[in-house]
Amino acid sequence: MKRYFFIFSILFLTGKVFSQQRPIFNNHFESPDINNPAFSGSKTYNPLVIQVRKQWLGFQDAPFSSNISYSGAVNNRSALGINFVHDVTLPSQQSEMQLNYAYHIPLNDNNYNLAFGIGAKLLYYRLKFDISDIPPGQDPAFNVDLVDEFTGDASAGALFYSENFYFSYSQTNILESAFNTDDGKGFKLNNGYRNHYYDVSYSFNIIDNDWHLQPSIMINSNKNRTLYNFNTRLHHLKNKWIGTNYRSDNTIYFSFGFDFNDISISYCYEHSFNGNIMLHNYGSHQLGITYKFVSELSERHISFWDY
């Protein structure tokens, strides 16, 4: 396993293949303000969302990601949000804290609304080798504590929405902050590439008001690659749902969720068809819990979907 980590790190340091990016969370609709700050304050309650994701279950030292986010209205137009993301992909780990502000504008009496959001982010990145991972001899490019740094970045987005649909666009890592310096000897900057997110969804009433079908498409692109996410969820009575998703990197996942009073619980199983590594693990798993805190400001604020 350490040999694989070393190979990964070589590619990481050259900057030709890898650049440190945010972890991918499935069920992105549970905490959309992670990618687009304009979603902050768009619900009739203040959501506290906790997500944990274990990739490649059963594989030694597999990546693990977690996220905690909270947002809510502060008056009839403005909202604030905060989220914490932690990702461990040995031998590296990264943590970030982002503060969001969103401003919501009602466009007409049919409940069409427009929101704009900005976010300021503090990032911590650490790349730490075990001494046995270091090749023999002296090489200035390698040491036990290779990178241990703080940096900052920003995000911004827009959201157009009504009761049954939304369309959003956002950018994260706008400043493309780097965690190291270019020494001119082939070891290039490790930038967090600017990411573009396009997200559209519509909810169809298919049986009275009891059943709703909600397809959505999210596109995530940067200078290295573009991912397409095709998701469909079937809701029943707005308090339970099942869903399926296909991602263009040959990944599928199945998910479900239900409400219990003011708490929502969700689970997602992900399976990738890429590489032989999938023959040696039990897929990726994600658990999400949302606490819905009702406040007078949120109830007066522009409302979004209840589910």
Walk me through the domains of the chain, giving residue ranges and CATH numbers. Answer: 2-300 (2.40.160.40)
Give residue-wise pLDDT tens across range 202-211: 999 998 889 9
- pLDDT(258) > 90: yes
- Gyration radius from the chain CA atoms: 21
**Cα–Cα distance between 188 and 19 in angstroms, integer?**
10
Averaged pLDDT for residues 173-200: 73
Of 26, 6, 9, the closest CA to residue 67 belongs to 26
| Percent of the chain topping pLDDT 90 | 48
**Cα–Cα distance between 181 and 174 in angstroms, integer?**
19
The residues near 297 (Cβ < 8 Å, ≥ 6 apart) are 72, 73, 74, 75
Judge if pTM exceeds 0.85: no
Which residue's entry shows tokens 């008056």? 75
Question: What's the mean per-residue pLDDT of the chain?
Answer: 82
Residue 140 confidence (pLDDT): 56
Give residue-wise pLDDT tens across range 101-142: 999 998 876 678 899 999 999 999 887 766 666 666 655 555
pLDDT band at residue 35 using 50, 70 and 90 as cut-offs: very high
Of 55-64, 82-91, 152-161, give the range with the top mean pLDDT: 152-161
Angle at 220 between CA 218 and CA 226, to 5 degrees: 120
